């Protein structure tokens, strides 16, 4: 059960589309502390359109059953919706077959799956894994754990003052022991869009595999895993207007087929005896137990929603809004924007001299403005820029200039409150 945004059928104007899209999100129609909600915490998690909410409700009300195992009508219908969602994800990221799409709880589980399956199988003592200085903890800690387990070495690509990777340093890090490069497609703390196609080609020239953390990219820029030629791609549903607890891992079929299971249990088996177990084909081999069925179906509807608007339209809207926001708050006395690459998505991380980000966030909250304050699960990156935390305003398809004006007014109140 899916309802496309009313905007798509009523206007071809980008501004008109985005203005009407806002009405597809029930959460945005409420007030916080007596003020209209301005939601600018989209890099953490996005609000949900009515179509996704309706899909989830409809499944639980009318289609609820377990998938794959039943031969009754409801099970067949649930299975069809679940596998249709996999096909939608395949098309969304440009995979060659739905067999290459593994449903997981989110980006974090996807990365851990690759680390503990592909990594444990193919890396040995003395091998090297390359990550970057801008990684989310979810793309640091799994590789640290793997390095401890097999005595491999973790190497880090540095970031320059604008928040971009230093590719000359990356080239120097690549060598005969490089086995895997894992990096974010878009930085969650800076918004930087990394030149991943070039980075992948450089890694492949050294026979290294590449995993991309696409958690911050999937809702903002078109993805084509075949064009990128990445070996693995991971993203989370809740950051692209879908449910929590669901995400997807793309892997090249030949790699997934050769990898051992990540978890054992029902669904991922072909035959079990007490002497030996043989495993199902991909993708089921990596989906042990009852899956998050409604999460996958809801993710499929979120993909439908984004596709109906068009990621190119969304990207253009967010870029225009980012330029306006950068200009609007960038000249505030004492405010420093951290992450100034010309190639970035709608993320504004900033430090306001004399006010802790948590205090800024509290004042903004009382003005109805939701932002994120903290290290954004990127503590090494915060250290690189000499701060312990930043305030982060992150944009989405439903934000507009009025939201930025409200943010600016709330920041002025914060400065006045702390007598800056």
Interval 221-233: pLDDT, tens: 999 999 999 999 9
Identify the pLDDT of residue 225. Answer: 98
Domain ranges within the chain, ordered by starting residue:
6-48+311-417, 54-307
Indicate the average pLDDT of the chain: 95
pLDDT of residue 19: 81
Contacts of 128 (CB under 8 A, 6+ apart): 152, 153, 154, 155, 173, 175, 177, 178, 179
Residues in a beta bridge with 335: 352
Residue 41: name the closest of 213, 252, 216 by CA.
Answer: 216
User: Is 66's pLDDT higher than 80?
Assistant: yes
**To 5 degrees, how large is the angle CA 184–CA 221–CA 163?**
45
Distance (Å, whole) CA 328 – CA 410: 12
Looking at the chain, the whole-number percentage of residues with pLDDT higher than 90 is 93
- Please give the model's pTM, rounded to 2 decimal places: 0.95
Which residue has 């754990």 as its token pair?
Answer: 145
Sheet with strand 335-338: strands edge to edge: 335-338, 347-352, 390-394, 372-374
C-alpha pair distances (Å), 50 with each of 30, 96, 293, 295, 302: 14, 30, 19, 15, 10
Per-residue pLDDT tens digits for 81-124: 999 999 999 999 999 999 999 999 999 999 999 999 999 999 99
Nearest CA to 149 out of 178, 170, 121, 169 is that of: 121
The pairing of beta strand 209-213 with beta strand 178-184 = parallel
Among residues 377, 379, 387, 420, the one annotated as catalytic is 377
DSSP state of 193: B
CA dist., res. 59 & res. 403, Å (int): 34
pLDDT for the residue 71: 87
The CA distance from 410 to 412, in Å, is 5
**pLDDT tens for residues 253-278?**
999 999 999 999 998 999 999 999 99
377 catalytically annotated: yes
* pLDDT score of 54 more than 60: yes
**Topology given in CATH for the domain delimited by 6-48+311-417:** 3.90.1150
Query: Taking the C-alpha atoms of 107, 79, 241 and 52 in order, what is their torsion angle to the nearest 10 degrees?
Result: -160
- Tell me the CATH number of domain 54-307, given options 3.40.605.10, 3.40.50.300, 3.40.80.10, 3.40.640.10: 3.40.640.10
Judge whether residue 14 has pLDDT over 90.
no
Q: Is the pLDDT of residue 5 over 90?
A: no
Is pLDDT at 7 greater than 70 in this prediction? no
């Amino acid at each position: 059960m899916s309802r496309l945004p009313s905007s798509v059928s009523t206007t071809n104007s980008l501004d008109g589309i985005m203005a009407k899209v806002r009405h597809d999100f029930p959460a945005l129609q409420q007030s916080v502390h007596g003020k209209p909600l301005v939601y600018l915490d989209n890099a953490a998690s996005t609000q949900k359109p009515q179509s996704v909410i309706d899909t989830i409700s409809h499944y639980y009300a009318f289609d609820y059953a377990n998938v794959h195992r039943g031969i009754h009508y409801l099970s067949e219908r649930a299975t069809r919706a679940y596998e249709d969602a996999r096909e939608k994800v395949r098309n969304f990221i440009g995979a060659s077959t739905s067999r290459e799409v593994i449903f997981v709880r989110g980006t974090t589980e996807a990365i851990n799956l690759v680390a503990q399956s592909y990594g444990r199988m193919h890396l040995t003592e003395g091998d090297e894994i390359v990550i970057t200085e801008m990684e989310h903890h979810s793309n640091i800690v799994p590789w640290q754990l793997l390095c401890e387990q097999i005595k491999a070495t973790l190497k880090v690509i540095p970031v320059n003052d604008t928040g971009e990777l230093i590719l000359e340093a990356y080239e120097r890090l690549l060598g005969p022991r490089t086995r895997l490069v894992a990096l974010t497609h878009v930085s969650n703390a800076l918004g930087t869009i990394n030149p991943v196609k070039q980075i992948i080609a450089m890694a492949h020239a050294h026979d290294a595999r590449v995993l991309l953390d696409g958690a911050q990219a999937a809702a903002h820029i078109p993805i084509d895993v075949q064009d990128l030629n990445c070996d693995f791609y991971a993203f989370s549903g809740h950051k692209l207007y879908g449910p929590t607890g669901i995400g997807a891992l793309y892997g090249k079929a030949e790699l997934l087929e050769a990898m051992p299971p990540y978890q054992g249990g029902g669904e991922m088996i072909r035959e079990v005896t007490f002497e030996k177990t043989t495993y199902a084909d991909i993708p089921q081999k990596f989906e042990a137990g009852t899956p998050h069925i409604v999460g996958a179906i809801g993710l499929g509807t979120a993909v439908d929603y984004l596709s109906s608007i068009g990621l190119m339209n969304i990207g253009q809207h967010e870029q225009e809004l980012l330029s306006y926001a950068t200009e609007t708050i960038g000249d505030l006395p004492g405010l420093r924007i951290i992450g100034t690459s010309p190639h970035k998505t709608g993320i504004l991380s900033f430090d306001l001299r004399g006010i802790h980000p948590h205090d800024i966030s509290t004042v903004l909250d009382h003005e109805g403005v939701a932002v994120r304050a903290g290290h954004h699960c990127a503590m090494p990156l915060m250290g690189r820029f000499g701060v312990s935390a930043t305030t982060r305003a992150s944009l989405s398809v439903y934000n507009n200039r009025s939201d930025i004006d409200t943010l600016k007014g709330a920041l002025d109140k914060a400065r006045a409150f702390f007598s800056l």
